[in-house]
Amino acid sequence: MTDPRAPENLSALLDGELDPDEVEAVERALREDPALRAELHALQEAMEFTREHGPVEPPAGFAERLNARIDAELAPPSLWERLRDALRQLPWEGLALAAAGALVLFFVQSAPKQTPATTGGDDAGVDAVAQGRPELGVEGAPALAPAAAPSPPPTALAQGPEAGPAVATPDAVAQARPRSNPSLRLPDPAPSDAASESGQDGLASAELSAAAPADPTRGSLGAGGQKGLDAAMSYRLRASDKRVLSQLSELARLNGGQLIDASTGEAMDLRAFDSATQAQVVMRVRADRVTAATTALRRLGELDYLARRDDLLYGSGAVDVAIDVQLSEGSTR
C-alpha cells in the first residue's frame, strides 16, 4: 500500500477510489495529523464547489437544433432531392437552345413575308429573365429586379422555379447559333462581363448580369471587384440573434466564399456586431453557387435555418450578394 500520508490519497479518498485497507490507513493518519485534515477539508471544498457550479445546462432547444443540423447535413436525400439532382445533370442549356431554335424557326417560317419586323421580343426576353425568377420569400426584400438598361438583352427562355437550367446564356447562344441554324436571326447578345471575366460557366453570371439592384443604394455593396455583378441580388433578413450571422458566415464559407462587413470591406468579425442593431454585410459566394445560396437564404429567412450542405458544394468563380441584416434590439448574444 502507498504511504497513507501521500497527498494524492486524499483526493482518492474523496473519490472513493481507495481500497478498504487504504481507507483505514488514511483515516488513521487523518486522526493523527491536523494539517492533513485541513488539507483534506480544502480539497473537499474545492471539489464540491466545482461539482456544484461546474455543470452548465445547455441552452433551451439544444437537442432540437442538433436534430435540425443532422437532418440538414447528414440525412439521406429525399426522393424529390434525388430527382432534382438528377434533373440538374441534364443538359438543360442544350435542350433550351434546341427549343428556342425550333420556336424561332417556327415563327420565321410561319410569319407573313410582308409583316414588318418588330423589336418587341427583346423586351420580352428581359421580362422572362426578370419575371421567371420567383420571389425569394425572404422577409421584406424582392428577389431579382429587372435590368436597368440591358441593351440589347440576352435571349432568355421560359424557366422553372430554380431558374438556372432554363436560362440561355449569351455565350452559349453565341456559340450555338451558327452550328444549329445559320438562318436564325437572333439579336447579338450583350457581352457578359461576369462570364467573360471569370471564364466560368456563365449560367449564374448571366442571370445576374440581366438583373439590376433592387435598391440602387446597394450598388456599392456588391462590388467585390467583379464588374457587372454589383448587388445583383439583395436580401433582407431579420435576425433574432447573432447566430444568424454565424449561419450566414457558414453559408458563405460552404459556397466557397466569405461574409464581408460592408462598412469596412473586410472579412466580417462577428464580435463587431455585439452592440449593433443593424448590419449590412456582403456574402460572397462562388458564381455557380448562387442558386444554391439563394435556396439556402430562403430557408434561412423562412425557417431560420441553414440549408443542407449537399446543396452547397461545387463550381468556381465568385459573386457578391448584399444582405441587410436586421438585428433585434438587445438580442445579440
Partner 1 sequence: MFATLLAMTLGVTSDEELVRRFGSGDRSAFSELVRRYQSRVYSLCFRWLRDPAKAEEVAQDVFIALYKSLADFRGESKLSTWIFRVATNHCKNRLVYGNRRREDRHESIDAPVGGDDDGPVKQYAIDAPGPDASINRAEASKLLQAALDALDEDQREIVLLRDVDDLSYEEIAELLQLPKGTVKSRLHRARAELARRLSRKVGLEDVV
Binding interface with partner 1 (CB under 8 A)? 7-8, 10-12, 15, 17, 39, 42-43, 45-59, 62-63, 65-67, 69-70, 73-74, 242-243, 246, 271, 333
Between residues 147 and 306, which has the closer beta carbon with respect to partner 1? 306
Q: Which is nearer to partner 1, 49 or 107 (CB)?
A: 49
Q: What are the DSSP calls for 185-246, one per residue?
A: -PPPPPP-HHHHHH-S-SHHHHHHHTEE-SSGGGGGTT-TT-TT-TT-SEEEEEESSHHHHH
* Residue whose C-alpha cell reads 433585434 in the numeric block: 328
Between CA 4 and CA 18 the distance in angstroms is: 10
Alpha-carbon dihedral of residues 263, 269, 273, 279, nearest 10 degrees? Answer: 40
Considering the complex, what minimum distance in angstroms separates the CB of residue 48 from partner 1? 8
Nearest to 296 by CA among 242, 256, 329: 256
Q: How near is the Cβ of 169 to partner 1 at its closest, in Å?
A: 38
Q: State the minimum distance, in angstroms, from the CB of residue 74 to partner 1.
A: 6
Q: Answer for the pair 319, 229: CB distance below 8 angstroms, yes or no.
A: yes
Burial of residue 81, with CB atoms counted within 10 A of its CB: 0-12 exposed, 13-18 middle, 19 or more buried: middle
Q: Give the contacts of 186 (CB within 8 A, at least 6 positions apart).
A: 104, 155, 173, 177
Instruction: Show the 3-state SS of 153-190.
Output: CCCCCCCCCCCHHHCCCHHHHHHHHHHHCCCCCCCCCC
- As a whole number of angstroms, the longest Cα–Cα distance in the chain is 121
Q: Which amino acid is at 89?
A: Q
Taking the least distance from each CB to partner 1, the nearer of 40 and 129 is 40
What are the DSSP E strand ranges found in the chain?
145-146, 211-212, 234-239, 258-261, 266-267, 278-285, 319-327
Q: In whole angstroms, how close is the CB of 51 to partner 1 at the nearest point?
A: 5
By beta-carbon proximity to partner 1, the closer residue of 95 and 267 is: 267
Smallest distance, partner 1 to C-beta of residue 281, A: 18
- Least distance (Å) from partner 1 to the CB of residue 168? 41
Nearest partner of 284 among 328, 331, 329, 226, judged by Cα: 226
Closest to partner 1 by CB, 47 vs 104, is 47
Q: Residue 25 carries which DSSP code?
A: H
Q: Which is nearer to partner 1, 7 or 265 (CB)?
A: 7
- Cβ closest to partner 1, residue 53 vs residue 185: 53
CB 29, min distance to partner 1, A: 15
Q: Which CB atom, from 179 or from 333, has the smaller least distance to partner 1?
A: 333
Shortest distance in whole angstroms from residue 294 CB to partner 1:
25
Least separation, in Å, of the C-beta of 100 and partner 1? 46
Question: With respect to partner 1, which residue has the nearer C-beta, 73 or 139?
Answer: 73
Look-up of cell digits 450566414? 248
CA distance 271 to 248: 14
Distance CA 316, CA 289 (A): 8
